[in-house]
Amino acid sequence: MRNDQVDPHQRRPGVPRGGPGEARDRPGLFDAVLFDRDGTLVYDVPYNGDPDRVRPVPGARAALDRLRAAGLRLGVVTNQSGLARGRFTAADLARVNARVDELLGPFDTWQICPHADPGPGGAGCRCRKPAPGLVWDAARALGTHPTRCVLVGDIGADMTAAGAAGASGVLVPTPATRAAEVAAAPAVAADLNTAVDLILWRHRLGAPDPSPPRPGRRRCVLVARSDSVGDVLVTGPAIRAVAAGADRVVLLCGPRGRAAAELLPGVDELVEWALPWIDPQPGPVDPAEMARLVARLAEIGAEEAVLFTSFHQSALPLALLLRMAGVARISAVSDDYPGSLLDVRHRVPPGIPEAERALSLAAAAGFALPADDEPRLRLRPDRLAPAPTAGTATGRAGDTDTAATLPEPGYVVVHPGSSVPARACPPEVCARIVEALADAGHRVVVTGGPGEAPLTARVAGRSGIDLGGQTSLRRLAAIISRAACLVVGNTGPAHLAAAVGVPVVSLFAPTVPFGQWAPFRVPTVRLGAADAACRHTRATTCPVPGHPCLSGIEPRQVVEAVRLLDRRIADGGGSAVPIGEVGVGTGGAPRTAAPAERGVRAGADVPGRPAAGTGPGGVSDVGGHGVVLPVGDPVTASAAEVGR
């Protein structure tokens, strides 16, 4: 064993290091953890206005104290429609919240939606989960951003609200949680203590391991991610972490990910090579070709290598070639025994987002992101094509052409294709989605890669602007960057949108785990049957007749998801508008609050105390908050939430 070789057992994931009172050694992945109240922190008593009936769930106090000891701020985000329904008074609600705070607090912020579900066709508020308004308000009250927050809840509406704000979500199911909600959640924990284990592990994953001592700044480090566009993009934060500790970074990529690799910050040189143990359509292993690869790797002169892989791939074949090329220190994730091939053998719990998986490996190898580099996907601005302007589109080679006319920024992009057929939404469904978005007042741009022009023409029809086959990856990034949101399956452009900070309506086939492959740290609404028979099969072609996981998506669900992602919800003080008039980038007339919509101000920070600027008893007019959201459909509250 070399002096810097890590014993494999030291890299096993488990309960995070540290205990009560231990300070963080660097900023972690999160600033705050938000909790649903009923069913998550305390037992659910429908329409409870009696503080004597408040009972914390087992282990709640200890779990919350572990988060506080880690330096994380805590908040509560709760729907309390009983106020609007007249089931309890504002004073009752304040007393119940004060009792929760007494037993489990102090909490750093309370965010409360007092509105009732208005029913089909009614006008909803911006704050009632699954709308993300409460999450945005909590993050704002805590001086952070939703992407640095985790929301822990017990039903699907909690997870939708978290995702639509860009926060992480952890579902702790109860008997009231539906099986479909469990299947759709990005992460699931058996209880609060287990949820806290996961949160703290993820929170600290970017901190470098101090044992064994890390060698000094490296002259040259080779990083490897030989995979597709999306795989390369989600590795970007980890590559930036390596670049922060090295003078030169060389990226070994495959031909399918080359275009994305060219856009990554922190990369000084690219080496393109198809690896037969990674490529989905590999040729036979050619000994002469492997000898040439070893020689090329030796030419690089790297002192160290960090090998990034997905959860189903092995880094060991490449590690063997790197040893033959003379690389002295190699780090990788490996469940298989590596012998002497690895110096740092890292392990990661299942279900961790791919970007975080890669970041944790970089940290295990001794490379951490600088404190001022937020762990999100990024692109090199100098490598992007110029942003297209209204009245221009892109040519077949990515140059300006007159084939189509781009609208002003704020349009919706629909990308129907996918490199994996099982993840592509059926064309006829995508065509109906484009029509529905156009009917709702959105300007729709349909994009597609080389060879997808027939598909995009069919999907765009007469309602969308067809750019199929007309964009390079660089120009596609520029087009998406000017969009209000992107409607797309689990494919490369979803991660491209995350890299330019554009919200995503994810038409996600459950062949791979959503928690690992969802767009990273960007507002996202997931649609599709998460519990379909293809779940976690990693199928490349649909194994079920009729493609039921995506063919059942209704166009109105997509329109509603786009509304959930409307950036005016994040603004907090925006006006509500009538249903049918909500559109990304469009305005709306304010309306007067109905009597049932008046109650505790969303955002009252101290339970039991009237908020500043409210009237007698802490009552305030909240009717002007947010945008109007349709209700009663799959992206809105489940039956289990009635009364919360």
Four-CA torsion 194, 196, 198, 203, nearest 10 degrees: -170
What the block records as the tokens of 137 is: 């308000």
C-alpha separations of 17 from 191, 201, 333 in Å: 20, 8, 20
DSSP 609: S
Q: Of 311, 332, 364, which residue constitutes the final position of a domain?
A: 364
Q: What is the pLDDT of residue 123?
A: 61
Q: Of 516, 531, 564, which residue constitutes the final position of a domain?
A: 564
In a domain, 250, yes or no: yes
Give me the sheet containing 73-79, strands edge to edge. Answer: 109-113, 73-79, 32-35, 149-153, 168-171
Mean pLDDT for all residues in the chain: 82
Instruction: List all residues 6 or more positions away from 485 whose beta carbon is below 8 Å from its beta carbon.
Output: 412, 413, 497, 502, 503, 504, 505, 562, 565, 584
In whole angstroms, give the CA distance from residue 539 to residue 532. 12
For residue 636, which amino acid is it? T
In whole angstroms, give the CA distance from residue 127 to residue 581. 18
Q: What is the pLDDT of residue 607?
A: 33
DSSP 3-state of 446: strand
Checking if the pLDDT of 587 tops 70, the result is no
Shared domain check, 277 and 300: yes
In whole angstroms, give the CA distance from residue 80 to residue 88. 10
Angle between helices 287-300 and 316-324 (to 10 degrees): 70
What the block records as the tokens of 446 is: 């349909």
For residue 499, which amino acid is it? A
Checking if the pLDDT of 232 tops 90, the result is yes
In whole angstroms, give the CA distance from residue 414 to residue 542. 21
SS (H, E, C) 215-278: CCCECCEEEEECCCHHHHHHCHHHHHHHHCCECCEEEEECHHHHHHHCCCCCCCEEEECCCCCC
Q: What is the pLDDT of residue 208?
A: 64
In whole angstroms, give the CA distance from residue 428 to residue 458. 8
Shared domain check, 294 and 434: no
Shared domain check, 460 and 405: yes
Q: What is the pLDDT of residues 350-370, one digit of tens each?
A: 889 999 999 999 999 999 999
Share of the chain above pLDDT 70, in %: 80
Tell me the longest C-alpha to C-alpha distance in the chain. 82
Q: What is the pLDDT of residue 402?
A: 35
Taking alpha carbons only, the member of 353, 306, 351, 356 closest to residue 333 is: 306
Q: What average pLDDT score do residues 501-513 get? A: 94
DSSP 595: G
Shared domain check, 572 and 560: no
What the block records as the tokens of 301 is: 């002169």
Q: What is the pLDDT of residue 386?
A: 73
Least confident of 76-80, 193-197, 436-440, 597-601: 597-601
Shared domain check, 611 and 552: no
C-alpha separations of 165 from 71, 336, 571 in Å: 22, 38, 12
Q: What is the pLDDT of residues 374-383, one digit of tens each?
A: 999 999 988 8
In whole angstroms, give the CA distance from residue 198 to residue 390. 46
Instruction: List all residues 6 or more positions away from 521 whose beta carbon is below 8 Å from its beta carbon.
Output: 147, 166, 355, 375, 376, 377, 498
The 10 Å Cβ neighbour count of residue 346 is 25
Checking if the pLDDT of 399 tops 50, the result is no
CATH of the domain at 123: 3.40.50.1000
In a domain, 512, yes or no: yes
Q: What average pLDDT score do residues 524-528 get? A: 96
Q: What average pLDDT score do residues 401-406 get? A: 56
Shared domain check, 572 and 547: no
Helix (H) or strand (E) holding 53: none
Pick the catalytic residue: 31, 38, 44, 117? 38
Shared domain check, 76 and 186: yes
Q: What average pLDDT score do residues 564-586 get? A: 48
Helix (H) or strand (E) holding 504: strand 504-507
How many domains is the chain built from?
Answer: 3
List residues bridging with 223 in a β-sheet. 251, 306
Residue, of 599 and 573, whose pLDDT is higher:
573
In a domain, 547, yes or no: yes
Shared domain check, 101 and 84: yes
Q: What is the pLDDT of residues 253-280, one digit of tens each?
A: 999 999 999 999 999 999 999 999 998 8
Instruction: List all residues 6 or more positions away from 175 whose beta carbon is below 8 Å from its beta carbon.
Output: none
Shared domain check, 284 and 200: no
Q: Look up 209 and say whether it is catalytic.
A: no
In whole angstroms, give the CA distance from residue 139 to residue 34. 9
In a domain, 249, yes or no: yes
CATH of the domain at 495: 3.40.50.2000
The confidence band for 422, taking pLDDT boundaries of 50, 70 and 90, is confident
Q: What average pLDDT score do residues 478-497 get? A: 95
Taking alpha carbons only, the member of 368, 321, 319, 369 closest to residue 339 is: 319
The 10 Å Cβ neighbour count of residue 113 is 29
Q: What is the pLDDT of residue 606?
A: 30
With residues binned 3-state (H G I as helix, E B as strand, rest as coil), the percentages for the chain, rounded to 5, are: 30, 15, 55
In a domain, 379, yes or no: no
What the block records as the tokens of 95 is: 């007393």
The confidence band for 458, taking pLDDT boundaries of 50, 70 and 90, is very high
For residue 17, which amino acid is it? R
Q: What average pLDDT score do residues 604-619 get? A: 30
Q: What is the pLDDT of residue 385?
A: 78
Shared domain check, 335 and 240: yes
Q: What average pLDDT score do residues 187-202 get? A: 96
Q: What is the pLDDT of residues 528-552, one digit of tens each?
A: 999 988 888 888 888 888 888 999 9
Angle between helices 555-564 and 427-439 (to 10 degrees): 50
CA atoms within 13 Å, Cβ hemisphere of 386: 8
DSSP 202: H
In a domain, 303, yes or no: yes
The confidence band for 309, taking pLDDT boundaries of 50, 70 and 90, is very high
Q: Of 364, 398, 413, which residue constitutes the final position of a domain?
A: 364
In a domain, 14, yes or no: no
Residue, of 602 and 490, whose pLDDT is higher:
490
Structural domain containing residue 516? 387-500+504-564
In whole angstroms, give the CA distance from residue 259 to residue 263. 7
In whole angstroms, give the CA distance from residue 515 to residue 186. 4
Shared domain check, 228 and 335: yes
Q: What is the pLDDT of residue 349?
A: 86
Q: What average pLDDT score do residues 471-498 get? A: 94
Q: What is the pLDDT of residue 23?
A: 34
Q: Look up 52 and say whether it is catalytic.
A: no
Q: What is the pLDDT of residues 137-167, one digit of tens each?
A: 999 999 999 999 999 999 999 999 999 999 9
Least confident of 57-66, 219-228, 464-473, 485-494: 464-473
DSSP 3-state of 633: coil
Shared domain check, 558 and 574: no
In a domain, 264, yes or no: yes
Taking alpha carbons only, the member of 609, 607, 610 closest to residue 97 is: 607
What the block records as the tokens of 24 is: 């963080």
The total number of residues shown for the chain amounts to 644
Checking if the pLDDT of 26 tops 80, the result is no
For residue 222, which amino acid is it? L
pTM given for the model: 0.82
Write out the DSSP string of 84-130. Answer: TTTSS-HHHHHHHHHHHHHHH---SEEEEE-PPP--TT----SSSTT
The confidence band for 124, taking pLDDT boundaries of 50, 70 and 90, is confident
DSSP 3-state of 169: strand
Pick the catalytic residue: 4, 25, 36, 52? 36
In whole angstroms, give the CA distance from residue 494 to residue 506. 8
